[in-house]
Structure 1
Amino acid sequence: MTHAFSRQRVAGAHFARLPLRAAIIAVSLLTSVAQVQAQVQTQPGGVDAQRNSYQVAAGTLANALTDFAAQAGVTVQFKPSLTEGRQSPGLRGEYSVTEGFARLLQGSGLSIEQHGSRVYVLSAAGTDAALLAPLTITGQHAVHLPSAAAGSIVATTSAAGTKTGTPLIRTPQAVNVVTREELQQHGANNVSQALQYTPGLVSQYGNADVRHDWFTVRGFTPGRYLDGLRLPFGVLGYAQPKIASYGLERVEVFKGPASVLYGQNAPGGMINMVSKRPSVAPVREVYAEYGSYDAQQVGFDLGGALTDSGNLLYRLVGQLGESDSRVDYLNEERQFIAPSLTWLIGDDTQLTLLAQYQNIDSDGGGAQPALPAVGTLYGGSPYGKLDADTFIGEPGFDRFSNEQMMAGWEFEHQLNEVWQLRQNLRASRVDTYTQRVQAYSMISPTVLARYAWAFPEDSTTFTVDNQAIARFATGSAEHTLLIGADYQHEDATYDEHFQGTSVSPIDLSTLEYSGDAVKPPLTTRREQDRYQAGLYLQEELQLAGWTFNLGGRYDLAKADSKTTDVLAGTSSTVDQDDEAFTGRFGLVYEFANGIAPYASYSQSFAPTAGVGADGNALKPTEGEQYELGVRYQPASGSSLWTLSVYDLTQQNVLTRDLLTNVRSQTGEVRVRGMELEGKMALRRGLDASVSYALTDSEITRDGNPTVEGNEQPFVPNKQGSAWLNYVVQSSALRGLGLGGGVRYIGKSYGEVANNFESPSVTLFDAVLSYDVGALSQSLEGAQLSLSANNIMNKEYVSYCISSTGCFYDGGRVVTAQVKYNW
C-alpha cells in the first residue's frame, strides 16, 4: 500500500519556505540550460548521421510517422489531409532518420524535407514543404504533449499517461482519448458531451450544469487538469473553472491511480484537457450556430506565423454565446478568449505562452434545480408529475457568475542527443458567486419548504512542473528516464450566507412564486491554503518487445484551514501536514501482430481535511489498483482497441459511527470492473467507436453497518455505447456526412444509503453534415452541420442525492452550425 503519514503542525514550519524552494528549483532548471548548453558540443554529422534500431508497425501512414518520430527523437510536421487514407509498410531494423522516413513513405507519392537539425516537414511531391496547414507534431518538441490535430478519431499517444508521449500501445494503464476530430463528429459543445462515449465515466448531473463539470471515473471524483497541470478547486469545489471545449485539442482520461506522476488524487483516475496551440501555417476558422432553447453562439480560431522566418507562432481562440434552457428562468451568457504564442528560439529550444479568460453569467442559479423524488423519480404525487422545466427557486433572485483567468508557459530545451529539460507553469484565478433558493423538505403533501442560500467562492493557484528527460540506449535496451519536481499552491475562500427556511414555501401543484427571497447574512467563512511539493522518477525500458515502466514519487502536502462563525465571532483552525510515497510498476509486451497485453500496479493518496475524535489531523486516503489489459492495433488500418480489468481499493475513508456519531477513518471502498473501448478509422470517410463498462462497486467497511455492502454513488453497473460516422467520398452526394450513436447508462444510486435508484436509460444521438466545397471549388472551406443530442428527447432523472435532491438530465439539444475555413 501507499506509505502515507499525517501529523499536526511541526516545529520548523518547513512548508513556509516551500514557495521559495519551488522558485529556486524553477530558476535552477532554467539556469542550467544556459550552463550546460555552453558545455555541450553538437556531434559531427548531426542527428541524421546516426543509425539506430527502430520498430514501427505497418498501418496508417500518420501513425507510422508519429511513432517513428517519437523513437527517433525528432519533430515531424504534416497536415492530416496529406496522410488521410494512406498506408505505410512500417519498418524494422537499423536506419538513419532520413532512411527511416523514406522507407515509411515508400509508394505514397509524398516527400519529406529536413528543416534544421530536428525538424522534418512532409509535403506532396513538387510542392513547397514550408506551406503547411494545421500541423501534427511529434518527436522531441511535442511528443510528450500530443497537442495538434490527430487527423482522425484514433489517438496513438497520450500526454497524461507517462508525461513522455509514450505510445498508448506501450502504456500499462487504460487511457481514453477524445480527439478534436471526434469532438467535431459528435457536435460536442462542452466537456461533458465530449466524454459521453467514454467507458467507466459518468457526468454526475448530465450536461446541463452551466457552473461546473462533475464527473465520476471508476467510482471516484477525478482530478481535473489542463495541459498537465492541476486546475483550481476551491475549498468545497465551487471555484472550479468551466473549461470551454472549443479551446481544446483533445480530452484524455487516465484511469486508475495517478499519484506517481501528479501527486494527490483520488484512485479512480484523472481528466487532462489539452489546449489548442500555435501552428506553423495559417489556421483560419469562423463559425456561427443556433440551437435549442434559443442558443446562439459565434466563434473563431485563428493561428499561424507572425514572422517570415516562422520563429514566432500564434493562436487565438474565442467564443461568444447566450442561451436559455429547458428549465424555466434558467439561462446563460458566456465570453471566452484564449491567446497563445510560441517562440521557436532555435532548433533545440521553444517557449509557448498560454492564457485564457472566460466569464459566465447565469440567471436561475447556473444549474437545474434539485426536485423532490416523488413526482420525478417516483409517481403517486398529489401534485402530479414535475416536468423537467420545473423551477422551484425564485425568479430574479437565483443567479450564478464565474470569472476565470489563467496564464502560464511551457518551456522546452534539448540539451544534447540525450537530455531534454521542460518546465510547465501556470497561475490561475477563479471567482464564482452562487445565489439560489433550494428545496428543504416537504411540509405537506403538496407544499415544499425552501431556503435561500448564497455561497461565493474564490481560488488563486500557482502550479509548476519541472522535468528532465533522458533518452538513451544501453546495448539493445532503450531507456526513457523522467525526473520531475513539481509544486502547487492554492489559496481559497468560501463564504456561506444562510438563515434557515427564510423563504416562503412553494405549492408544487401551482408553482406560484412568493417573491420574498433576500440574500441571507454571512454566517460562515472558510479560508484554506493548500500546498504540495513532489519529487518523482520514472523509468521506461524497451527491450525485445517488452516495455517496463517503474515509477516512484515522494510528496509533502500541507493545508492550513480556518473556519469562522461570523455570527458568534469565533473561529477554529486546523493545520495539517501530510507526506506520502506512491509508486507504479507496469509491463507491456508488444507482439508483431499488433497485440500488446499489459499489467500494472499503482498507488494513490489524497489528503483528508479536518480532525478526528482524538483532535489529531486526519490521515490521507490511500488507494491501490491492480490492472490487467490488452491493446490491439492492427496493421490493416487506423484503429486501437483496449480491454482492461481492474481491482481498485480506497482505504482510510472517513465515516461516522452509527451509535456514537464519532468520526473515524475506518471506511473502505472497493471497485472492480471491466472496460472495453475501440476506435476505428475503417476507411476514408468511415469512422466508428464502441465502448462497454461493467462496474461492481462496494462499500466494504463503514462506521454505519447498514451502509456496508452498498454501492458507491454515481457508479452505473453497466455502460455501453457505439458510434458510426460516414462522409460520402464520391458520386453526387460527395461531402454529405451522416453520423449516429447510441448510449446505454445502467442503474445507479446517488447516495451511500442506496435509497434512491435511478433506472437505466438508452439514448440516441445523430449528426448530419455537408461539405459545401464539394459543390464548387469557390465554396471550399464552407461546412454545414446539424447535431442532435438525445434525439428522442428521453426525459429521465440522472441522479437523486436525497428525497428532495433529484436532477433531470438536459434533454434533447439540437444545434445547427455553419463553419468556414480558409
Structure 2
Amino acid sequence: MTALLSGTAMVTPALAQDATYLGRIQLENSGSASRTEGEGTASIGPVTDSVVPNSAGGALLGDVPLVNTPVSVSVVTNTQIEEQGAQSVAEALRYTPGVFSEYRGTSNLHDETQLRGFGSRTFVPKALDGMSFGRSSLGQLDPYYLQSVEVIKGPNSIAFGQVTPGGLINMTSKRPTDDQGNELVLTFGSDDYKGIATDLQGNLDADGDLRYRVVASLWDKTLQGDFGQSRLLLAPSLTWEIGDSTELTVYALYQNEPEAGQRGFMPYLGTMEPTNNGIWIDPDFVSYAPDFDTVERETWALGYEATHGLANGWSLTHMLRYSSIDLFHSQLGLWDSSDDGAGNYPLYLFESTDYAEELTARVSLDGEVVTGALTHNLTFGVDYLNSDVESTYARDDGSTYTYNFADMISPTNAQIAALTLDAYTSETHSELSQTGIFAQDRVEWGNWDLLMGLRYDWATTRISETYAASWGGGTSDDTYEAEALTGRVGLSYEFANGVVPYFSYSTSFEPVTELDDDGDASYDPTTARQWEAGVKWASADGKILLSAAYFDIQKKNIVESYLDEMNNPVTDQIGSVRSKGIELEAKAELMDNLTVIASYFNTDATYETGDYAGNTFYAIPTEQASVWVQYGFTEGVDGSLGVRYVGPSWNYETNDFQVPSYTLVDAGLSVDLGVIAPEAEGVKAAVTVQNLTDERYVTSCVREYCWLGEGRNWSLRLSYDW
C-alpha cells in the first residue's frame, strides 16, 4: 500500500481566485472546492475498456466518484464480465467481496445472491438502471445486455425503498453513446454451448442528435440428456437530444427462454457423503427426469428516461418502465433427503406458474447551491412502484416414484403423466404498491464530504390465496400496511495523498407479510441499521482503486415462533440478527500489461434472540477470498489466472453440520489477431476456463438438502469490432 501511495500524484487542497485543476479537485472562484473531472483523471461515468470502475450512479442519487462515496460499493464492468467469461450476473460477481452469488450451485435459475450475510430467506433485490426489476427474484438478465453490475452494500433504502440489510444489486443496461463502434461475437463452449451476439450503435442524423443502439444475443447449451438452456435477447434503444437542454432515451427489452434451466435439490447423502449404496452424485447431474422437466420464461420491458436542463443549472429527470416476466416450471423433484436404506429416494411432481408485472417511475430534481465555502449537491424526488404477481402451484403426494443414483433410470413421460397434481394446489395473487419521497444533500467543503439523506415510504401489500380441498380448502385475503422513515449520513475526508477515510450510518425497512396469532396483519416493518467505517484510495489516473471497510449490521423486528411457559406455540416480533465483519477490495491496472483484482471478506453473522441465539446464519460462508491476475505476455497476447476461496458454512439455524470450504482456479488466454496479422484487424479470440482443476464441491446445504457446484467448463469467444 505504501509503495503504491508514494508513487501517485499528490492532491493538495488550496484556495485560489482562479479555477485550478489538481487531480480530482477543482477550486472555484467562490473559494469552495468541488470534485470534478480534472487533468489526468478518469472521467465520471461508466468505464467500458477497463476492469477498474470510477463511479456508480446507483450508490448515490447521482454519479459520484467511487473514492468519494462514503458507502461500500463494488462495480463489475462489462470488460471484467467479458474477460472472465461470465455467463450470468451470478458468475459476474464471483470476485466481489461480501457476495455469495452461487449458493445453489448449478441450480441457479434466478441469480439468487447473498450480501454481507443476508439473503438466504429473503432474496437480495435487483434493480435495472436504478429502478426495481424482477420482484421475488424471478428476473434474470443476460450479462451481454449489461454495461456494469453495481453491488451496493448495507441497508441503504434511500435510493431504492425496500431492500434487504445486506444491500442490493443494480444492473446498468447498455444505452446509446457517442461511440460508433459495432461488435459481433461467436461463442462456443462446454455443454455444447453455441452462441452469437452483436452490439450495434451509431448516429441516425448528421449532427449526432439521434443515436441508436441494438444489443442482441442468441445461445443454447445442453445440461443433461435432452434438458438444456436457451435464450434469445433483443434490446433496442434510441437517444434523442432535443435542443441544447433536453435528452430523451426510449428503450425496449425482449428476452425469451424456451429452456430457462433448472432449480432443484440434491440429498445430503450423495453430495456430502456417499449414498447408502456407495454412490457419489456426478456434478453433471441436474435433473431426475431430463426428458420431462421444463422451465420456460419470457421477459418484456419498455421504458424511457428524459432529462431536461433548467435555466438555473438544475436538471429534471423522469424515468418510467413497464416490465413483465412469465415463468412456467414443471419438474420431478426430490421429496425427501433420506433414502430407504438402499439408495432409493422418493420423488414428487410439481408444476408452478408465475406472472409478474412491474410499473416503476421516478421523478427527481438535481442541482447545486453554493453557500459561502459550502457546495450543496441537492437531489429531491419521488418514486412509485406497483408490482403484481400471480402464482399457481400444484404437486402430488410424493410417494409414487423413486430414483436411485446407481441405476439413474428416469421415469417415462407416460409414468409422470399418470401422477396426480391434486395433493396440494394453491393460487396466490400478491400486489405491492409503494410510494417514496426522498431528499439528499451532498455537502463539499474543502476536502470534506458530508452526505445526508432521508426517505419516507408508504407501502401496501395485498395477498390473496386460494387452497384446494386437499390442503384444507378455503381462501384468504390480507392487506399489510407499512410506513417507514429511513436515511443515511456519511462523512469523508480526502488527504493530500488521495487517501479517503469515511464513516457512515444507514437504515432500511421491509414490510412483514405474515399474520400474528390473532390472524391480524399488524406487525411493524422489519428494520435494519448499519454502522460502517472504511478507507478508500484511487490513483490520479483512475487505474487503481483500493478500499477497506468494517461494517456492523443489525436487523430487528424479525418474526419468530417459540413455545411459551405453557408450552403453547407463540408467534411474536422479537427477533434480531446481526452481521459484522470486514471487506477488502483492490482493482488495479498496475502496468500496461498487468491487471489485478483481489478481495477478502470475513463476517460474524449470528442470531441474537430466540432458540438459535448465538448460532451462525446458515448457507453463509464466514470467509471468502479471491485474486485474479491478467498479464500481457507480449503485444496482443494476454493470459489470466484466478483463485477463489469460499469458506465453510452451516446448514441451518440449528447449526447441525458444516459444509466444507473449497478453492477453485480459473484461467484464460486472449489473442488480438489484428496485432499479429494486420489483415485481421478488429478480430480477437479468447478462451476462459472456470474451475480449471475440475474440483468437486458442495456450495451449500439447507437442512439436509444440498447443491453441488459447477465442474470444469470452458468457452471460446471470437469477436470482431468495427
Q: Check whether TM > 0.5.
A: yes
CA distance in 2, matches of 1:469, 1:671: 35
Partner residue of 1:414? 309
Which moves more between the two structures, 207-216 or 284-293?
A: 207-216
Q: CA deviation at 1:102?
A: 14
Partner residue of 2:378? 481
Partner residue of 1:534? 436
Q: CA deviation at 1:408?
A: 0.5
Q: CA deviation at 1:230?
A: 0.5
Q: CA deviation at 1:794?
A: 0.8
Is the partner of 1:259 in helix, strand or coil?
coil
| 2:340 alignment partner, one of 444, 458, 463 | 444
Question: Is the contact made by 1:314 and 1:339 (CA closer than 8 Å) also made in structure 2?
Answer: yes
Partner residue of 2:400? 503
AA at the equivalent of 1:366 = G
CA distance in 2, matches of 1:816, 1:402: 27
| 2:153 alignment partner, one of 208, 230, 255 | 255
CA distance in 2, matches of 1:636, 1:463: 37
AA at the equivalent of 1:818 = L
Partner residue of 2:16? none
Partner residue of 1:792? 693
CA distance in 2, matches of 1:453, 1:323: 24
Which runs of 5 or more structure 1 residues have no equivalent in the other structure? 1-56, 65-71, 73-86, 109-135
The residue correspondences of 1:253-402 to structure 2 (distance < 5 A) are 253-325=151-223, 327-362=224-259, 366-367=261-262, 369-379=264-274, 381-391=276-286, 393-402=288-297
CA distance in 1, matches of 2:104, 2:593: 30
Partner residue of 1:472? 369
- Change in 2 beyond 3 A, CA 1:330/1:95: farther
The number of residue pairs the alignment matches comes to 690
Q: CA deviation at 1:676?
A: 0.3
CA distance in 2, matches of 1:400, 1:542: 51
- Change in 2 beyond 3 A, CA 1:555/1:734: same
Question: Is the contact made by 1:695 and 1:715 (CA closer than 8 Å) also made in structure 2?
Answer: no
Is the partner of 1:262 in helix, strand or coil?
coil
Question: Is the contact made by 1:260 and 1:582 (CA closer than 8 Å) also made in structure 2?
Answer: yes
- Change in 2 beyond 3 A, CA 1:754/1:89: closer
| 1:551 alignment partner, one of 453, 456, 471 | 453
Question: Is the contact made by 1:190 and 1:244 (CA closer than 8 Å) also made in structure 2?
Answer: yes
AA at the equivalent of 1:650 = K
AA at the equivalent of 1:489 = N
Partner residue of 2:607? 699
CA distance in 2, matches of 1:583, 1:227: 21
Q: Percent identity?
A: 32
Is the partner of 2:91 in helix, strand or coil?
helix
Deviating runs (4+, > 4 A) in structure 1? 57-61, 87-92, 100-106
| 1:517 alignment partner, one of 392, 395, 416 | 416
| 1:172 alignment partner, one of 45, 48, 70 | 70
1:746 aligns with 2:647: yes
Q: CA deviation at 1:449?
A: 1.0
Q: CA deviation at 1:639?
A: 0.6
Q: CA deviation at 1:700?
A: 0.9
Q: CA deviation at 1:417?
A: 4.1
CA distance in 2, matches of 1:623, 1:584: 12
- Change in 2 beyond 3 A, CA 1:89/1:484: closer
Q: CA deviation at 1:284?
A: 0.8
- Change in 2 beyond 3 A, CA 1:102/1:546: closer
Question: Is the contact made by 1:628 and 1:644 (CA closer than 8 Å) also made in structure 2?
Answer: yes
| 2:467 alignment partner, one of 558, 565, 573 | 565
CA distance in 2, matches of 1:350, 1:369: 46
CA distance in 1, matches of 2:293, 2:479: 35
Partner residue of 2:561? 656
- Change in 2 beyond 3 A, CA 1:60/1:272: farther
CA distance in 2, matches of 1:149, 1:543: 28
Partner residue of 2:14? none
Question: Is the contact made by 1:392 and 1:439 (CA closer than 8 Å) also made in structure 2?
Answer: no
AA at the equivalent of 1:799 = S
AA at the equivalent of 1:621 = T
Q: CA deviation at 1:361?
A: 2.3
Q: CA deviation at 1:149?
A: 3.3
Is the partner of 2:347 in helix, strand or coil?
strand
Question: Is the contact made by 2:284 and 2:711 (CA closer than 8 Å) also made in structure 1?
Answer: no
- Change in 2 beyond 3 A, CA 1:654/1:777: same
Q: CA deviation at 1:682?
A: 0.9
CA distance in 1, matches of 2:685, 2:543: 26
Is the partner of 2:80 in helix, strand or coil?
helix
Partner residue of 1:735? 636
The residue correspondences of 1:580-659 to structure 2 (distance < 5 A) are 580-617=484-521, 618-635=523-540, 638-658=543-563, 659=567
Partner residue of 1:425? 320
Partner residue of 1:37? none
Larger % of helix: which? 1
CA distance in 1, matches of 2:109, 2:618: 21
- Change in 2 beyond 3 A, CA 1:261/1:102: closer
1:549-603 deviation line (CA, Å, top 9, x unaligned): 1111110000111110133652111111110001111101111111000001110
CA distance in 2, matches of 1:597, 1:324: 49
CA distance in 1, matches of 2:426, 2:351: 11
AA at the equivalent of 1:394 = A
CA distance in 2, matches of 1:503, 1:423: 55
- Change in 2 beyond 3 A, CA 1:159/1:753: same
CA distance in 2, matches of 1:471, 1:642: 28
RMSD (Å) for aligned C-alpha atoms:
2.6
AA at the equivalent of 2:707 = F
CA distance in 1, matches of 2:38, 2:441: 29
1:690 aligns with 2:598: yes
Question: Is the contact made by 1:593 and 1:634 (CA closer than 8 Å) also made in structure 2?
Answer: no
CA distance in 2, matches of 1:475, 1:751: 56
| 2:660 alignment partner, one of 745, 759, 770 | 759
Q: CA deviation at 1:418?
A: 3.0
Q: CA deviation at 1:734?
A: 1.9
1:405-435 deviation line (CA, Å, top 9, x unaligned): 0110111111034311111211001000111
1:668 aligns with 2:576: yes
Question: Is the contact made by 2:659 and 2:699 (CA closer than 8 Å) also made in structure 1?
Answer: yes
1:207-238 deviation line (CA, Å, top 9, x unaligned): 6346210000011122201100001224xx4x
- Change in 2 beyond 3 A, CA 1:279/1:391: closer
AA at the equivalent of 2:212 = Y
CA distance in 2, matches of 1:92, 1:524: 61
Question: Is the contact made by 2:621 and 2:647 (CA closer than 8 Å) also made in structure 1?
Answer: yes
